[in-house]
């Protein structure tokens, strides 16, 4: 036994390539085994633990026979490799030093890889270096998620998805270099990762509860920019989330944009508006919240928001009407108020062919079909029951387009 070990060590020490191979393999194996079984939520660890260390491990395994081969070639055969003494203080010092150096090396290399990967996944890199994403980055900075990193939604934790997205990243880098990307760009053929692994890492569905009062202010296109208020009691936690989140709802889309959903099933009961075959997809957060961070406005809603916030002065006659015309290109935008120009720059990106309505928002049903893609009274099951469009299913219409809703006075909100 001792002699087998001794000749093995002799082989390793005979050529520096083999020695380095052995050290690299051992240390990367040790580090891999230490980290691989620890839970981690940060996707960057994926590449370090599951790609860098195994790569070093394999590299080491290749270096060992390569070194032995070099040595045996030099000496004219394996038999002529001199056997070394593996005991004694000199040997201990030698192995100790080599071990220490390797640990330091691997640590430096992995830290270097870690920082560069982290940089490539940072919002600066994703949003700014990669100029084709300017529209998404602009909207992102203006959203509730502007402190959430791109990869929290686009990659999520775990090694397999990390590799999946890195490979598609290489493809995308080519597309950007050779300008073969789609304009406007779409979310990887609509194949964003299931939201249980992304959104639900921060938003815990068990904690969704309660209704939410929504006060929506709009302005007429008249001389006074008259304010009209709609008050909705949204059954967010009590019905909307309850009816879909954690329920087995599937659909088949007739288009890649998922606007036309003729076939829906809820826990096995099929509701359809017409027959269609195709891939079934499980409904998740993103089917409603498709614009949680890259939300683009429509002209009238954007102007309403600026009038509500006071950024646009409501006392200027016909301001709402004129601002909308300027944003639509029917009046010169050069003559517009700074706030209107800002709305334009926030939403229109000619170089990426992003314009009004390029990216519809599926929450609601006012400007885009949204909920009514399914809740249209047209998707029926075998017994003729439809996915409901009843107006008080999702919200109570407490006030609709009123100038002074009574309810706001009662609530002390006016």
**Binds ligand HEC by CB under 6 A, chosen from 103, 163, 215, 236:** 236
Applying CB under 6 A, the span of 7-15, 61-69, 201-209, 342-350 interacting with ligand HEC comes to 201-209
State the minimum distance, in angstroms, from the CB of residue 159 to ligand HEC. Answer: 18
Cα separation, 334 vs 168, in Å, equals 41
Residues 292-351 that bind ligand HEC (CB under 6 A): 292-294
Nearer to ligand HEC, 80 or 209 (CB): 209
Applying CB under 6 A, the span of 11-19, 20-28, 65-73, 181-189 interacting with ligand HEC comes to 181-189
Cα separation, 52 vs 239, in Å, equals 47
Residues 242-271 that bind ligand HEC (CB under 6 A): 243-245, 249, 251, 261, 264, 266, 271
Residue with tokens 């957060």: 285
State the minimum distance, in angstroms, from the CB of residue 45 to ligand HEC. Answer: 16
What tokens were used for 238?
A: 């009590």
Rg (CA), the chain: 31
Burial class (CB in 10 A: 0-12, 13-18, 19+), 200: middle
Burial class (CB in 10 A: 0-12, 13-18, 19+), 238: middle
Q: 53-75 and 89-121 are packed helices; what angle lies between their axes, rounded to 10 degrees?
A: 140
**Binds ligand HEC by CB under 6 A, chosen from 171, 186, 409, 414:** 186
Residues 277-296 that bind ligand HEC (CB under 6 A): 283-290, 292-294
Residue 400 in the binding site for ligand HEC (CB under 6 A)? yes
Dihedral sign computed on CA atoms, order 317, 318, 320, 323: negative
Residue 239 in the binding site for ligand HEC (CB under 6 A)? yes
**Binds ligand HEC by CB under 6 A, chosen from 24, 133, 336, 398:** 133
Distance of CA 413 to the CA centre of its chain: 37
Nearer to ligand HEC, 56 or 263 (CB): 263
What tokens were used for 86?
A: 């593996």
- The closest alpha carbon to 275, from 289, 264, 286, belongs to 264
State the minimum distance, in angstroms, from the CB of residue 155 to ligand HEC. Answer: 10
State the minimum distance, in angstroms, from the CB of residue 349 to ligand HEC. Answer: 11
Strand ranges (DSSP E) for 98-211? none
- The closest alpha carbon to 246, from 214, 200, 182, 305, belongs to 200
Residue 99 in the binding site for ligand HEC (CB under 6 A)? no
Residue 198 in the binding site for ligand HEC (CB under 6 A)? yes
Residue 388 in the binding site for ligand HEC (CB under 6 A)? yes
Applying CB under 6 A, the span of 99-107, 113-121, 165-173, 369-377 interacting with ligand HEC comes to 369-377
Residue 353 in the binding site for ligand HEC (CB under 6 A)? no
Site string for ligand HEC, 6-25 (x = CB under 6 A): --------------------
State the minimum distance, in angstroms, from the CB of residue 352 to ligand HEC. Answer: 9
**Binds ligand HEC by CB under 6 A, chosen from 13, 63, 117, 153:** 153
Give one word for 283, left, alpha or beta, with left for phi > 0 and alpha for psi -120 to 50.
Answer: beta
Residue 128 in the binding site for ligand HEC (CB under 6 A)? no
Give me the sheet containing 227-234, strands edge to edge.
Answer: 212-219, 227-234, 395-402
Residue 175 in the binding site for ligand HEC (CB under 6 A)? no
Applying CB under 6 A, the span of 6-14, 87-95, 197-205, 344-352 interacting with ligand HEC comes to 197-205
Assess contact for 165 and 191: CB atoms under 8 A: no
**Binds ligand HEC by CB under 6 A, chosen from 11, 50, 56, 137:** 137
Distances (CA, A) of 36 to 46, 49, 118, 197: 9, 6, 19, 19
Nearer to ligand HEC, 50 or 296 (CB): 296
**Binds ligand HEC by CB under 6 A, chosen from 54, 127, 158, 360:** 127
- Backbone dihedral angles phi then psi of residue 308, each to the nearest 5 degrees: -65, -40
Distance of CA 336 to the CA centre of its chain: 35
Assess contact for 81 and 71: CB atoms under 8 A: yes
- Backbone dihedral angles phi then psi of residue 45, each to the nearest 5 degrees: -60, -30
Nearer to ligand HEC, 325 or 363 (CB): 363
């Amino acid at each position: 036994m001792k002699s087998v070990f001794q000749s093995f060590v002799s082989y390793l020490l005979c050529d520096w390539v083999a020695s380095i191979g052995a050290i690299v393999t051992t240390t990367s194996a040790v580090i891999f085994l230490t980290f691989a079984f620890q839970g981690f939520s940060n996707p960057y660890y994926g590449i370090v633990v599951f790609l860098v260390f195994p790569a070093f491990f394999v590299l080491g395994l290749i270096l060992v026979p390569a070194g032995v081969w070099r040595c045996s070639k030099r000496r004219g055969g394996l038999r002529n490799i001199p056997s070394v003494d593996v005991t004694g203080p000199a040997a201990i010092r030698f192995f100790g030093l080599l071990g220490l150096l390797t640990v330091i090396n691997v640590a430096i290399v992995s830290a270097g890889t870690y920082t560069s990967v982290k940089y490539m996944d940072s919002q600066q890199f994703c949003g700014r270096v990669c100029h084709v994403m300017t529209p998404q980055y602009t909207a992102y900075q203006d959203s509730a998620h502007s402190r959430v990193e791109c990869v929290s939604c686009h990659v999520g934790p775990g090694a397999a998805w990390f590799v999946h997205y890195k490979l598609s990243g290489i493809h995308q880098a080519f597309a950007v270099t050779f300008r073969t990307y789609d304009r406007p760009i779409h979310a990887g053929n609509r194949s964003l990762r299931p939201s249980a692994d992304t959104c639900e890492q921060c938003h815990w569905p068990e904690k969704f509860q309660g209704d939410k009062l929504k006060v929506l202010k709009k302005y007429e296109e008249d001389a006074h920019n008259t304010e009209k208020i709609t008050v909705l009691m949204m059954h967010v936690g009590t019905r909307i989330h309850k009816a879909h989140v954690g329920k087995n709802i599937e659909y088949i889309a007739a288009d890649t944009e998922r606007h036309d959903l003729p076939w829906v099933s809820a826990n096995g009961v099929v509701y359809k508006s017409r027959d269609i075959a195709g891939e079934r997809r499980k409904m998740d957060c993103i089917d409603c919240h498709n614009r949680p961070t890259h939300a683009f406005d429509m002209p009238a809603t954007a102007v309403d928001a600026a009038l509500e916030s006071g950024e646009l002065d409501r006392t200027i006659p016909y301001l709402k009407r004129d601002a909308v015309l300027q944003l639509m290109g029917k009046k010169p935008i050069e003559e517009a108020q700074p706030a209107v120009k800002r709305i334009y720059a926030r939403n229109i990106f000619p170089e990426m062919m992003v314009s009004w309505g390029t990216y519809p928002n599926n929450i609601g049903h006012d400007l885009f079909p949204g909920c009514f893609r399914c809740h249209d009274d047209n998707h029926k099951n075998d017994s003729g029951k439809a996915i409901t469009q009843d107006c008080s299913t999702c919200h109570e219409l407490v006030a609709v387009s009123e100038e002074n809703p009574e309810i706001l006075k009662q609530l002390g909100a006016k």
